[in-house]
């Protein structure tokens, strides 16, 4: 396998972009990421997208976007794994360059949701759950995480308020991110008084689904050296799955796919979690971040909320530096690519050397983890 570098990264602001369609958002992010690289040099385009069919009434996003972007008939395909779609697309791009099949590929995450009403979007999002034994009974993705949180509170004797710092941290970090949806801080008191959405999850413990697109350019080592670009290297890439239905898991509160993909990505990079300077997780709710941190081994089972004191920008474990899903916004299948764009910018502008990005699909059924390093 050959080394893979990120030579470009860009994204649109996450917004309710009523004036822009999916293609417009995609092309803006591609232009931002490619910068001076001609689109005709792109060997393949991998599109991470979750709701293209039901949210934007458009299938075959690979050809649809590649053609409009002037990519000269290149290989192009949509990759779907619910909320892990962006990470899964990045992994396809990584494999294409690492295998030597292509020397330059683009990974795009794009989501267009605001053309639809809420109930329709809930139906579309719930496609990431088990259709026959979860969604058919009315369970939503938010509801699935609420079931996990309720059980967590019961088993570990943790108060719901212990999860507040994750949303507070996400909002604090989003203030400095011009691409974030919600650029205002929130307090723990405001969190505690928020109305319930899917109890025990409240409104300030839930993200807003919004529109956006993010893209990264992956290149071979030869190309990265020739361009002498300030590149970031992908040191590890791993994906894993577990049951789609919560009820069929042997251990309900263990995110097994998150644990396995995290461990595999770190092993491939030859690093341990102690080497990670900054991380991005699927963090739509505090419970999601806490379960992922426990799966990655940062805390014992039931002790994840105690990491709250360390997740700030100056802490030992900076998390959600761009605002995370809570405040940057939930961009569905684009999350995994937004994470990379934010981490690349951070690695280029801070002392941080190594970053970990993990995104989850559905209730954690798919997990994709990447390890990035300043080259």
Partner 1 sequence: MNIAKHWRQNGARYRLEGQRHRDGTLRFPAQSLQPGEAAADWQPEQLARQGEVFSFTVQRGGAAGFDDAPWTIIALVQTAAGPLVTAQLTDCAPDEVAIGLPVELVVRRIGTPVADGLLVYGYKFRPRLLM
Q: Is 160 in the site for partner 1 (CB under 8 A)?
A: no
Q: Is 138 in the site for partner 1 (CB under 8 A)?
A: yes
CA atoms within 13 A of residue 83's CA, in its CB half-sphere: 28
What is d(CA 79, CA 367) in angstroms, rounded to the nearest whole number? 14
Q: Is 250 in the site for partner 1 (CB under 8 A)?
A: no
What is d(CA 340, CA 346) in angstroms, rounded to the nearest whole number? 10
Instruction: Please name the residue that has the structure tokens 């994709």.
Output: 368
Q: Is 242 in the site for partner 1 (CB under 8 A)?
A: no
The pair of three-digit structure tokens given for residue 259, joined into one six-digit string: 């644990």
- Omega of the bond leading into 360 within 30 degrees of 0 (cis): no
Q: Is 256 in the site for partner 1 (CB under 8 A)?
A: no
Q: Within 196-235, which residues bind partner 1 (CB under 8 A)?
A: 196-201
Q: Is 140 in the site for partner 1 (CB under 8 A)?
A: yes
In terms of Cβ atoms closer than 10 Å to its own Cβ (0-12, 13-18, 19+), residue 300 is exposed
Contact 195, 202 (CB under 8 A): yes
Which of 158, 246, 325, 347 forms a contact with partner 1 (CB under 8 A)? 246
Count of positions on this chain that bind partner 1 (CB under 8 A): 34
Q: Is 42 in the site for partner 1 (CB under 8 A)?
A: no
Which of 245, 296, 320, 325 forms a contact with partner 1 (CB under 8 A)? 245
In whole angstroms, the minimum distance from the beta carbon of 137 to partner 1 comes to: 6
Residue (146 or 215) nearer to partner 1, CB:
146
What is d(CA 345, CA 336) in angstroms, rounded to the nearest whole number? 15
Contact 170, 342 (CB under 8 A): no
Q: Which residues contact 135 (CB under 8 A, 6 or more apart)?
A: 123, 126, 127, 129
Q: Is 327 left (phi over 0), alpha (psi -120 to 50) or beta?
A: alpha
Which of 134, 256, 294, 342 forms a contact with partner 1 (CB under 8 A)? 134
Which of 150, 208, 233, 268 forms a contact with partner 1 (CB under 8 A)? 150
Neighbours of 19 (CB within 10 A): 7
In terms of Cβ atoms closer than 10 Å to its own Cβ (0-12, 13-18, 19+), residue 81 is buried
Pairing of strands 201-202, 75-79: unpaired
In whole angstroms, the minimum distance from the beta carbon of 151 to partner 1 comes to: 4
Q: Is 68 in the site for partner 1 (CB under 8 A)?
A: no
Q: Is 136 in the site for partner 1 (CB under 8 A)?
A: yes
* x-marked contacts with partner 1 along 308-347 as a string, rule CB under 8 A: ----------------------------------------
Residue (70 or 193) nearer to partner 1, CB:
193
User: What b/e string do you get for 213-229 counting C-beta neighbours within 10 Å, with b at 16 or more?
Assistant: bbbbbbbbbebbeeeeb
Residue (79 or 146) nearer to partner 1, CB:
146
Q: Is 96 in the site for partner 1 (CB under 8 A)?
A: no
Which of 12, 50, 142, 173 forms a contact with partner 1 (CB under 8 A)? 142
Strand arrangement of the beta sheet that strand 366-374 belongs to: 75-79, 44-48, 104-111, 212-220, 4-11, 232-241, 366-374, 354-361, 278-280
Chain center to CA of 331: 8
Residue (11 or 51) nearer to partner 1, CB:
51
Residue (119 or 274) nearer to partner 1, CB:
119
Which of 44, 47, 148, 180 forms a contact with partner 1 (CB under 8 A)? 148
Q: Is 6 in the site for partner 1 (CB under 8 A)?
A: no
Residue (66 or 146) nearer to partner 1, CB:
146
Binding site for partner 1 (CB under 8 A): 118-120, 122-123, 126, 132-140, 142-143, 146-148, 150-151, 154, 196-201, 245-248, 252
């Amino acid at each position: 396998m050959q080394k893979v570098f990120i030579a470009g990264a860009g994204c649109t602001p996450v917004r309710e972009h009523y004036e822009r369609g999916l293609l417009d958002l995609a092309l803006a992010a591609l232009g931002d990421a490619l910068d001076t690289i001609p689109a005709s040099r792109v060997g393949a385009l991998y599109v991470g997208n979750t709701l293209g069919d039901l949210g934007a009434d458009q299938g075959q996003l690979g050809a649809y976007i590649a053609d409009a972007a002037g990519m000269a008939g290149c290989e192009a395909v949509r990759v779907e794994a619910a909320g892990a779609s962006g990470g899964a697309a990045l992994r396809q791009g990584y494999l294409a360059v690492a295998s030597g099949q292509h020397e330059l590929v683009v990974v795009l995450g794009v989501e267009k949701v605001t053309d639809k009403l809420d109930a329709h979007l809930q139906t579309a999002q719930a496609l990431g759950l088990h259709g026959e034994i979860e969604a058919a009974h009315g369970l939503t993705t938010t509801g699935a995480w609420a079931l996990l949180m309720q059980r967590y509170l019961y088993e570990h004797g943790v108060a719901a308020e212990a999860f507040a710092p994750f949303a507070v941290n996400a909002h604090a970090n989003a203030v400095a991110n011009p691409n974030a949806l919600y650029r205002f801080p929130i307090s723990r008191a405001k969190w505690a008084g928020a109305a319930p959405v899917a109890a025990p999850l409240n409104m300030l413990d839930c993200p807003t689904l919004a529109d956006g697109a993010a893209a990264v350019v992956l290149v071979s080592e030869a190309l990265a050296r020739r361009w002498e670009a300030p590149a970031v290297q992908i040191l590890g890439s791993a994906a894993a799955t577990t049951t789609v239905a919560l009820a069929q898991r042997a251990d309900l509160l263990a995110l097994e796919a998150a644990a396995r993909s995290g461990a595999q990505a770190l092993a491939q990079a030859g690093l341990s979690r102690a080497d990670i300077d900054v991380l991005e997780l699927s963090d739509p709710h505090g419970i999601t971040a806490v379960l992922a941190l426990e799966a990655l081994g940062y805390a014992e089972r039931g002790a994840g909320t105690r990491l709250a004191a360390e997740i700030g920008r100056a802490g030992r474990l900076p998390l959600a530096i761009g605002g995370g899903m809570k405040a940057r916004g939930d961009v569905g299948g684009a999350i995994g690519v937004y994470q990379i764009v934010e981490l690349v910018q951070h690695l280029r502008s801070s002392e941080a050397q190594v970053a970990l990005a993990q995104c989850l699909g559905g209730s954690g059924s798919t997990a994709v983890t990447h390890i990035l390093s300043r080259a």
